[in-house]
Amino acid sequence: MQKQILLASSTLVMLLYVACQKTPNEDTSYITPPVIIPEYKIDKTTPVWADEFDYKGLPDSKKWSYDIGGNGWGNQEKQYYTNDLKNARVEDGKLIIEALKEKLSNNDYTSARLVSKGKGDFLYGRIEIKAKLPKGRGTWPAAWMLATEQNYGTSYWPDNGEIDIIEHVGFDQNRIHGNIHTKAFNHSIGTNKGNSIVAESNVSDNFHVYACEWLPDKITIELDGKPYFTFIKPSSDWKEWPFDKKFHILLNIAIGGGWGGQQGIDDSIFPQRMEIDYVRVYQAVK
């Protein structure tokens, strides 16, 4: 009996020894340590960049430039963007971007597109925009972000990414859209990532706060403090996540186009304006 116990014990020790050894041909090259992303938080004490529009006249040239032209902007849009006071101005503490029914060049409408490129460029943080939107079939206002430099791929868009904080089309009055676009995820190839939400009060009669929280591992889009779309970083491949470089802000009203003009343009609605009470950017800190 004692001999059997000793034999069993010896066998158990041998099995344990073998179990703890690496199989000679075992491939462990695929086992990599997890990527640790430092935890960030938003410092909302003081904006690192802001325009409160507490002045009058043209938008602050130290903070905003203009995209100008009427070439369709890649979306078959019908407006000509100008730097004219009638299309973009500050009055009564608000930025007014106004779309008009008027002929300019080969376009039947004028509007404005303001950009902070080179004057307000950010990597991570919280972007807040308090705005009242235009209404009517054919309007397509937006507040969004593009990469400041072309760091990835052979095409500026979509390779270097886009973040849409506000998109609204006038034929679907109170629905707000938030989206991201990348080389791997964009509407042109049917892989778009985004969501929409219906506002609790009319977006053209009332101001709402539209926000984006952009961190190293996710992007969240909000309406009035309510998150409705979150994009989690799927990988470190730039085709899926180019959002690790500086971006800048764009504000505009487009007319018509592939989305905004899906149900035509109602010319009786003009002029139409987007009013912006403030734009604020808060830093993300470790």
Task: Output the domain CATH number for residue 57.
Answer: 2.60.120.200
For residue 39, the model assigns a pLDDT of: 84
For residue 36, the model assigns a pLDDT of: 55
pTM confidence score: 0.87
Bridge-based pairing of strands 208-215 and 125-132 is antiparallel
Structural domain contains residue 8? no
Walking along the chain (286 residues) 10 residues at a time, the average pLDDT comes out as 42 37 38 59 94 98 98 96 98 98 97 98 98 98 98 98 98 98 96 97 98 97 98 97 98 98 98 98 93
Strand partners, 227: 222
Structural domain contains residue 23? no
Structural domain contains residue 68? yes
Active site residues: 162, 167
Structural domain contains residue 5? no
Looking at the 3D structure of the chain, how many domains does it have?
A: 1
For residue 22, the model assigns a pLDDT of: 35
The residues, any chain, with a CB within 8 Å of residue 279's CB and separated by 6 or more, are: 50, 51, 127, 128, 129, 143, 249, 251
The residue segments making up the domain with residue 213 are 32-285
For residue 191, the model assigns a pLDDT of: 97
Cα four-point dihedral sign 26, 29, 30, 33? positive
Cα four-point dihedral sign 81, 86, 91, 97? negative
Structural domain contains residue 9? no
